[in-house]
Chain A
Amino acid sequence: MWRSSASFILDKHLNNKPISITHSIDSPPPPSASMADENPNPNPNPISAYYETRAAHHGIVTSEWLEQAQAAVRRYPDHDDSVSPVSGRPFSVIEEFNSWRQQPDLAEAVAAIRALAAVIRSSEATTMMELEIELKKASDTLKAWDTTSISLTAGCDLFMRYVTRTSALEFEDFNSAKSRVLGRAEKFGEISCKARRIIAILSQDFIFDGCTILVHGFSRVVFEILKTSAQNKKLFRVLCTEGRPDKTGVLLAKELAKLDIPVKLLIDSAVAYSMDEVDMVFVGADGVVESGGIINMMGTYQIALVAHSMNKPVYVAAESYKFARLYPLDQKDLEPALRPIDFNVPVPPKVEVERSARDYTPPQYLTLLFTDLGVLTPSVVSDELIQLYL
């Protein structure tokens, strides 16, 4: 009875707004002229840009590519200069963000913060307040451009809070304050990589010899965890779900096979069938919400339910900058993020397709969260967010 749910009202509201970008595919695309004024996103296609990028990453990412990308990232100062507006075009934070986002090893939040750092670098403000206002505008632009990406929003918010608070700590002159903020923003890429390594170290104790791990989706953090365990000569087995429609399971299986980890591929429906031979479930997260639940690739909620009913622990590996100030009450309470789904056979036009790319897993189905702040229970998340924002 979708009419009786609270999110029905939200859907109706969205359907009524003609200029809204996230309506269903049946209504015709609005005239681009008025849209360009309202919304800087030039893409009238209601496909989530975030998931499109992830799909692009999945298409090309292999371990060799990852190493090359990491090496490229370390040389970024040279890259940055080439991106600055030499051609006389006005500086666009979205172009900057997109150029960073294309790199497959970089987390969303890192790309966002690098884009904001570029804003600072090219800004002509002379006081902290001016700089903050510019940053706020740039951050709002980025957030409006892709409303579905949670780590983008969280990364922008985190950076804004940091800038506002740093300026409050009486720096004696503007230039040193600006260079300090810029320095920290550029260091954020390192912080992100360090975060992944810390998470990998923290989770080592939980993986014992002879265990079977079920993994869903291709999370770079979870991959780092498994890689570190293999390097520490632990003997374990991984079951990968296929992860339709992204084919993440096949890619992950390929990568794990290269590390000599025994892998077994399952179709998504075979999870309950295999759950009794599983010792623990590891998933990443696109975002961690205030209740302690997570937003992750479609299928995570299902797996968490099955694991909970069979008393298997579900461990989430997420960096702390993914904590977002959202509190979804049910599955439809999020910004809809849609993906194209290919069924390999033509679908009749009368038939609707559920194209959402992600779901929300409530905190009672999660056992522990591995973050760079330590191993946490889901109730810690709201505490951290309160400390940061209030």
Chain B
Amino acid sequence: MPDVQSMVAEFVNKLRKRKIEGSQATAKCTVELLRSVISHQRVPHANQAAALIDAVKAVGQQLVAANPVELAVGNVVRRVLHIIREEDLSLTTAAMAGLDLLDASDDDDIDNCKGIGYPAMSAAVVAAAARSTLRPPSLQTLLEGTPESATVPYTSSSGADSESKTADKSSLTRKLKHDVIEGVNQLIHEISGCHEQIAEQAIEHIHQNEVILTLGSSRTVLEFLCAAKEKKRSFRVFVAEGAPRYQGHLLAKELVARGLQTTVITDSAVFAMISRVNMVIIGAHAVMANGGVIGPVGVNMAALAAKKHAVPFVVLAGSHKLCPLYPHNPEVLLNELRSPSELLDFGEFSDCLDFGAGSGSLQVVNPTFDYVPPNLVSLFITDTGGHNPSYMYRLIADYYSADDLVM
């Protein structure tokens, strides 16, 4: 246990000092950390899922507090919580089905159930009620109310006294953790493989002799464009340099190395060149629940230009970037201000910046991110396929549970 605590503390430190860059790397490290937390967590015999959930939530809160702007951390914590709940549910329904068979042969267990004050309902009803706790609330379940019966399986299984049932119970304990860790491993695999999944779809979107515009540098975009190149599509790429870090220059070098015809332009030239462009493709830092996109600074400008000239604006995002929160004030709350030294070298303008003298009134602001509202985005390409911005809520309902939204 102590080494898990130190691992968590170390990771929190790294997040706070922004030592890990990129949402994919952050997401992978977070998931691996949570996997160690789960495997080291000792669980009681009853209500094991709740214990796991509490442990993961406690660690998750620390991680999110360390770097609230890196939304991938929160996303991945919520994914793990959802996995725990799902595995627990599938085990419970399997146990209920097993109990049902045993009940049929064992008369006094039925009386036992009735003794708890449990109405005579079949296992199907209980399973349906338990499943409804996992799904997000919907009109179908509105009248069904709180399924108290979901907790009854625990008491009825712990109250049973036949030999076979106690053997089931202890194997259940081990099975839950095992299933959860399997689910988490699958999640890690999914996060690592998101680039390939997205790049596979490149051939459907990029056609012959097209001109693509991109901004800054995103590994997803690079893989996407190269995949289309592999399939023998010939097209040109305009890269907006992405001041002040000029990562567009690095992307341009990579593209040229892979044999693509590339043109570098300044960010301010986007509006001038947009009429010659067929499609804008950018990589997102995070995708919000309403379909809005958080991307590198300058993206909103490209989106507005694209809208004005009716150019499709395509956003590439792995599923770990999908955030279930709504952006109430994204420019302020979800933005990070980097060091102004990226804009001005130390020593330049030092007389204007000198606050001590009382005459300094020059401020330098260097935001990292930009928010693009959903009506400017034409298509999202995730590892599950292409989607409309208004479809994002569906993916969120699939990947996350409603109880985990507020951590």
Write the residues of chain A forming the contact surface with B, with a CB cutoff of 8 angstroms: 158-159, 161-162, 165, 169-173, 176, 180, 184-185, 187-188, 191, 205-206, 208, 320-321, 323, 368, 372-380, 383-385, 387-388
Contact = CB atoms under 8 A, between A and B. Distances in A.
B288 to A, nearest CB: 11
Contacts of A388: 138-140
B394 A158 contact: no
Given A373-B137, A385-B139, A379 B391 contact: yes
A188 B122 contact: no
A293 to B, nearest CB: 14
Interface stretch (B142-150, B152-160, B214-222): B142-150
Contacts of A159: 143
Given A169-B125, A375-B289, A380-B393, A191 B137 contact: no
A387 B136 CA distance: 12
B121 interface: yes
B300 interface: no
Contacts of A205: 326, 328
Interface of B: 119-122, 124-125, 128, 136-140, 142-145, 289-291, 326, 328-329, 374, 388, 390-391, 393-394, 402
Contacts of B326: 205-206, 368, 375
B394 A383 contact: yes
A28 B402 CA distance: 56
Given A383-B394, A387-B138, 19 more contacts: A158-B142, A162-B143, A162-B144, A170-B124, A171-B121, A172-B121, A184-B145, A188-B143, A206-B328, A208-B328, A320-B137, A320-B139, A321-B142, A372-B142, A377-B291, A379-B391, A385-B139, A387-B140, A388-B140
Contacts of A373: 136-139
A278 B335 CA distance: 24
A358 B282 CA distance: 44
B402 A374 contact: yes
B217 to A, nearest CB: 31
Contacts of A387: 138-140
Contact of B120 (A173, A187, A321, A378): A173
A320 B143 CA distance: 11
Contacts of B137: 320, 372-374
Q: Would you call the interface of chain A mostly helix, strand, loop, or mixed?
A: helix
B52 to A, nearest CB: 25
Max chain A C-beta neighbours (<10 A), residue from B139, B145, B374: B139
Given A323-B139, A372-B137, A184 B144 contact: yes
Given A205-B328, A206-B328, A208-B328, A169 B139 contact: no
Contact of B143 (A158, A172, A206, A384): A158
A197 B291 CA distance: 26
A176 B114 CA distance: 13
A110 to B, nearest CB: 12
A103 to B, nearest CB: 21
A42 B140 CA distance: 35
A117 to B, nearest CB: 11
> Which of A185, A191, A380 has the most C-beta atoms of chain B within 10 angstroms of its own C-beta?
A380
B328 A187 contact: no
Contact of A169 (B120, B124, B142): B124
Contacts of A380: 393
Contacts of A173: 120
Nearest to B291: A377
B145 A187 contact: yes
A170 B125 contact: yes
Contacts of A384: 138-139
Given A374-B402, A377-B291, A191 B142 contact: yes
B161 to A, nearest CB: 25
Contact of A184 (B140, B143, B328, B374): B143
Nearest to A188: B143
By Cβ-Cβ distance, the 6 closest A-B pairs, closest first, are: A379-B390, A162-B143, A388-B139, A172-B120, A373-B137, A169-B125
A320 B142 contact: yes
A178 B379 CA distance: 49
A363 B394 CA distance: 18
Contacts of B120: 171-173, 176
Residue of A158, A320, A372, A379 ringed by the most chain B CB atoms within 10 A? A379
Contacts of B139: 158, 320-321, 323, 373, 384-385, 387-388
Contacts of A191: 142-143, 145
A278 to B, nearest CB: 16
B136 A374 contact: yes
Given A184-B145, A379-B391, A208 B329 contact: yes
B391 to A, nearest CB: 7
A254 to B, nearest CB: 30
27 contacts: A158-B142, A158-B143, A162-B143, A165-B140, A169-B124, A170-B124, A170-B125, A172-B120, A172-B121, A176-B120, A184-B144, A188-B143, A191-B143, A191-B145, A208-B329, A320-B137, A320-B142, A321-B139, A368-B290, A373-B137, A374-B402, A376-B393, A377-B290, A377-B393, A379-B393, A384-B139, A388-B140
A380 B395 CA distance: 12
B373 to A, nearest CB: 9
A158 B289 CA distance: 27
Given A320-B139, A373-B136, A169 B128 contact: yes
